[in-house]
Structure 1
């Protein structure tokens, strides 16, 4: 058996994935988001990659790398999910963890891909470093190469991120001293610990609930969408995801105070992490009920004993602790930062993002399209109403989920995942890297094969409809159809090898056809 397990490393998926990551990293220098008003490429003799045939060559390298990564990921998914009929050995948890790091490493040494957000992080941090408040003053207050390189739609907006991330960014800004290339690499060094934390937490969360840790790592971290968008693209979600799943893992393993404190820290990185906190109240109560019946955590019978079996003072104490611990952490960090709660204002700027990945925006598009033959409705005016309805619906759904999924630890965990998914679908705008909020938590469950195939399809689409130069093709019919077709092929390939039956065609002679 040891020989079969070790032989997995000699399978072509692992080295091919590393080579594909290298192709993505190299191709990005020609097609992704290089700093503006910067002559480093010219000085290094690499300017030819950014135009003409050089850019075409870079694009071919990039997209071939993306395609090979997806193929390798899907093939490994069949192995870890037990859907591979070739008898291939199943990799160990450690092997999948090393594969994640190996695939991610080349992506840490390239220019930002799919987004210029990292330049915005640096520009907002430069505002903080310059003595301004990033929650009330935009990057336009500190003109320079960072402001030039970021997406200009955010130039006058304030930061929506928590005080912990702003403090980390301030340290990066001080070290980089407005050098965008150095700043990008230092900011990645700040974000990569999120990947390392997730590598620790994801398999433990999966094991706790009886799911496959290898499959969890494959789904949430080896996923090319996650690696390219979050590691190469360098988004704050990478750090937030790691801290979020670590806090939840600590809590379900019985370390409730530590888990709540870590989730309070996660909320100071990005407030979305706070969605998970109320569900830890039910998890803590479930653990106390299990303890009273001498059951290990997570082994509660399907029919739970009523919550009134716990004394009211115990329930009240757990509720108070669930609220007070993360709130104390958040308040302490906010007080030390001296920035206040201005990030609340910054959250509203997300409304400037318009794509149909969120339900309220999609409904707004449909309304304007249906009304077009009779009246030209302004999309922005319609979105005010659809997003308002979406916000109200989201609030009701979150409360409903919290109440409905209270019976046990497993149910509370499921409610947490559904809550994150509801936020993704009903908030004003959704971007590919936001999906990690739910992906890092859903690893607690053994998903049906078809659900995993759906995630493969969605991940593939999000690698295509968002382009490496920060453009999108969500509103271009032909590229969109191509993205859906390739996504369907990737999903079908998870369900069964060679869905196009190319091998049979290759080995069929002319007289047999």
Structure 2
């Protein structure tokens, strides 16, 4: 653990700061702008947020007007797009208000999380309808089905639940803990969709709180400014929209994982392994953390024999917990088969996805199989990701263990044929606590946040069942183009024309010395 070092400047770097220096210009303007943006999204969600077909809200006059009338749908799209991009601007401007990243910056960041996140707690689910799949999976549990073997189509009237059709036959890719949470929520609410969404939001809020608590603690362990790390993570629009507005269980997953990493890094390894295992029992991707935890436990001077011993001990403790949970729920490890079930095959903005699509299209032009050749590219991406994970496990400085873990998880995300916005949110807190320098690194984050906000605004709109037109596909395309253009124009304004924010994407920041990371 390194000693605190002062940091100053508009977007100062990763050093700790004196507690007595307030170091902030008035944050009132960005706080209010972000709250307005979140409220716009709340109102817009009434028209284009995802509702279960069985929802009673569909019968309310306001919802009918905003969902069935062209004017209402157009207003909802504009409010959603402008609101989302206002949040991006407010987050950037909040960072610019900080002269010294001290306790005042922490207080303002927490105020922003509350002010910007509170309206999202009451919005109709945005950008994803996975929460309705959670409800269906909870019903499967209540009705005695094995969710690892049955999709929600095993339920009567399953289409009334509002889940994406990809879940009709797909087995559940989640761990045992989240299955119990799903079952409990559906049991308590008697499958009432709005009440279930609210309870799942409270579960996600637990993950958000865990991130708020443990991101600064992990950052301090790495000699990284905890207040800046908190701003980069918790006030981030991608973090708030994906974990609160979209109600993703990834919030609980990453919150438990960060808490576990903190306790492992502070030599309370058994507690840490328990928490990381609970994270795995929400969503198993964090199983990648276990080899790095074994290395932390083994210690800096450990030889290979000691490393293998602690790898085995870490695996035994975690696997033992997972086996015990599997025996209790009686469903075993069926989530292994479900890991690749949901989601599209590839997407154009994922590097491996784009290359696979191009190679597959070229193969088809020559009379060869699209799926065969695109599949080879996707498989190559997975093999490369596995190679990078292995390299990070077996090679590298012990003092950079957390960074190595972050790079291993980043390889899984970047080299997949599809990259979802919430996959990116897994990485933001890990990079933040190990140091995002105030140069090309933070600028890359600004661009990534802007891109995924614009993409989410245009990609996930529930409008096509309601517009009264002969060509519903055209209506949906028109709505998405309108949303995309609104978000894109706002994003271009932030990058090129806004006199306040354009410097963030262009100006070279103050040099920041890389801090040691563990």
TM-score w.r.t. the length of structure 1 is 0.83
1:428-443, aligned counterparts within 5 Å? Answer: 428-443=417-432
Question: Is the CA contact 2:85–2:453 (under 8 Å) kept in the aligned structure 1?
Answer: no
Structure 1, residues 93-151: CA drift from partner, whole Å, max 9, x if none?
23312321221111011111011111111111111111000000110111336654111
TM, length-normalised to structure 2: 0.82
Within 5 Å, give how 1:388-403 maps onto structure 2.
388-403=379-394
Using the TM superposition, give the Cα deviation of residue 281 of structure 1 relative to its aligned residue in structure 2, in angstroms: 2.1
RMSD (Å) for aligned C-alpha atoms:
3.2
Matched, 1:231 2:244: yes
Is the alpha carbon distance of 1:478 and 1:399 closer, same or farther for their aligned partners in structure 2, counting shifts above 3 Å? farther
Instruction: Indicate the residue corresponding to 1:506 in structure 2.
Output: none
Matched, 1:249 2:240: no
1:427 is the counterpart of 2:440: no
Q: Work out the CA distance in 2 between the residues paired with 1:494 and 1:335.
A: 58
Kindly state the Cα deviation for residue 497 of structure 1 after the two structures are TM-superposed. Answer: 4.3
Cα drift, residue 2 of structure 1:
9.8
Aligned residue for 1:111, secondary structure, equals coil
Which runs of structure 2 are paired with 1:79-478 in the superposition (5 Å)? 79-80=97-98, 91-144=104-157, 147-286=160-299, 289=300, 307-308=302-303, 315=307, 317-350=309-342, 352-371=344-363, 374-375=365-366, 379-405=370-396, 407-409=397-399, 411-449=400-438, 450-466=440-456, 467-469=459-461
| C-alpha distance 18-267 of structure 1, shift in aligned 2 (>3 A) | same
1:341 Cα offset (Å): 0.8
Q: Distance in 2 between the 1:105 and 1:413 partners?
A: 32
CA shift digits 1:11-38 (9 cap, x unpaired): 2111221222111111111122122243
Q: 1:344 to 1:317 in 2, by over 3 A?
A: closer
User: How much does 1:226 deviate?
Assistant: 1.6
Q: Is the 8 A contact 2:93 2:500 kept in 1?
A: no
Q: Please tell me whether residue 20 in structure 1 is matched to residue 37 in structure 2.
A: yes
Q: Say which SS state the counterpart of residue 133 (structure 1) adopts.
A: coil
Distance, in Å, in 1 between the alignment partners of 2:335 and 2:282 is 11
- Aligned counterpart, 2:13: none
Is contact 1:77–1:494 with CA below 8 Å preserved after alignment? no
The alpha carbon displacement at 1:429 in A equals: 2.6
Q: Does the 8 Å contact 1:206/1:443 carry over to 2?
A: yes
2:59 counterpart of 1:59: no
Task: Map Cα deviations across residues 451-478 of structure 1 (whole Å, 9 max, x no partner).
Answer: 11111111111111233416999xx999
How far apart are residue 500 of structure 1 and its match?
11
> 2:85–2:490: 8 Å Cα contact kept in structure 1?
no
Partner of 1:40: 57
Contact 1:118 1:184 in 2 (8 A): yes
CA distance in 1, matches of 2:332, 2:258: 26
In structure 2, relative to structure 1, the CA distance for the partners of 1:470 and 1:245 (3 Å cut) is farther
SS at match of 1:204: helix
Task: Indicate whether 1:73 and 2:86 are aligned.
Answer: no
More deviation, 260-269/446-455: 446-455
Distance 1:253 1:495 in 2: 44
Cα gap change, 1:430 to 1:495, in 2 (>3 Å): farther
Matched residues in 2 for 1:244 and 1:332: separation?
20
Q: Secondary structure at the match of 1:132?
A: coil
TM-superposed deviation, 1:365: 1.2
CA–CA distance in structure 2, aligned partners of residues 364 and 216 of structure 1: 35
DSSP-derived class of the 1:114 partner: coil
| 8 Å CA contact retained: 2:38, 2:119 | yes
Higher relative contact order (CA 8 A, sep 6+): 2
Distance in structure 1 (CA, Å) of the matches to 2:308 and 2:340: 34
Tell me, in whole angstroms, the C-alpha distance in 1 between the residues paired with 2:136 and 2:89.
Answer: 37
1:277-298 CA distance string (max 9 Å, x none): 1112222233xx5xxxxxxxxx
TM-superposed deviation, 1:3: 11
